[in-house]
Amino acid sequence: MRRAVDGAGRRLGAAAVVSRLAETVGYNVASVLLAVGLGVRVGGLPSGPTLWAAAGYAAATLVAKFGASVADAIHDRAVDAANPEKSRIATAVETLGRRGAWGLLCGYLLLALALYAGAAVVAGAWVFAAGAAVVAFGVAYSYPPRFKERGVWNHVVTTGVDAGLLVLPVAVLIAGRVAPAIAVAVALVGCYSFGYHVLHQAADAYFDRQAGVETFATAIGVDRSVTVAAVATGAATGFALALGYAVAALALVGLTAFYVALYDAVRDASPQRATRELAARFSVAWIATIANGALAVAVWRHALGTPTVGVPL
């Protein structure tokens, strides 16, 4: 009995690792909070059915993202095993077994589609279409056409899911319309999320190159990847100021300065050392949560009545 309980506990722990719950839950929840705040700022507090549709869509997207993480863990098990920063993911796949990992992936995808369908009953077929795109992109990230190895398209897809298929639909469901304040805020999210997705990939650049995996980061190098992230986050700061989101602008200035310091640390380093240095200093979980959380705080300050300047509603 004790052995069975211990085995179940190990499998649950492994499922959490391959789903990357620790890395993704915080910043995705913050994304949902800022999306709801944008909707409330534009359209006021939502009614019951609208709120449930938005909640269903948001929950479905988080579940679909967990599925995408599992798909990546299955496909890249050998690469992750050779990477000290990701070897625990490969170990978790082994603990689950290929059948168990595939079962977890299918369960996530079916649950996500069911939640999207429920939200679509209330809000319209476009909700299911957007959700189906999230699921398709999540799987295609690791499997043919494997966006992970399609250069900059990798980050166009991941950024598009974060900004265009999570923040935008939830905000529109709450607000009932697309307003300039929502559109500019989505562009803001797109800029800084593009930056941290590039850096997240660059933290694996040396090991990806050793394994023959060609990515945007392996093509341009770690130092240029950091430069791209800094420029994108600096642009996001401008959007934050245009919207009157001082809290978000302050946080993004801090992140941009952090990226500049990262560049100084990796610019003269060998590819292996630069990768290890970036991996040691950069955490997508913390960076993305800080960026999304700061924007969520700024959005809710305005949604709750703090005077604002910039882009009109």
Q: Which is nearest to 112 in space by CA: 149, 74, 51, 70?
A: 70
Residue 185 included in any domain = yes
Residue 16 domain-assigned (yes or no): no
Angle of helix 21-43 relative to helix 168-175, nearest 10 degrees?
A: 30
Q: Are 64 and 58 in contact (CB under 8 A)?
A: no
Domain count, the chain: 1
Q: What angle do CA 107, 155, 313 make, to 5 degrees?
A: 95
Q: Strands (DSSP E) along 59-116, which ranges?
A: none
Range of the domain at 183: 32-303
What tokens were used for 277? 């240095």
Q: Which residues of the chain have pLDDT under 50?
A: 307-310, 312-313
The verdict on residue 169 lying in a domain is yes
Nearest alpha carbon to residue 38 among 180, 165, 181:
181
Q: What integer pLDDT is reported at residue 307 of this predicted model?
A: 47
Token pair of 57 as six digits: 């869509």
- Is 1 within the bounds of a domain? no
Is 157 among the domain residues? Answer: yes
- Which backbone phi and psi does 2 adopt, to 5 degrees? -60, -40
Residue 88 lies in a domain: yes
Alpha-carbon radius of gyration of the chain: 20
Q: What's the pLDDT score for residue 310?
A: 47
Q: Is the pTM of this model over 0.85?
A: yes
Q: How distant is the alpha carbon of residue 136 from its chain centre?
A: 15
- Report the distance separating Cα 313 and Cα 310, nearest Å: 9
Contacts of 152 (CB under 8 A, 6+ apart): 216
Lookup: tokens for 132: 């189906």
Report which of 109, 92, 111 is spatially closest to residue 101, judged by C-alpha positions: 92
The CATH number for 183's domain is 1.10.600
Residue 79 contacts residue 95 (beta carbons within 8 Å): no
Q: Tell me whether residue 14 is in a domain.
A: no
- 257: in domain: yes
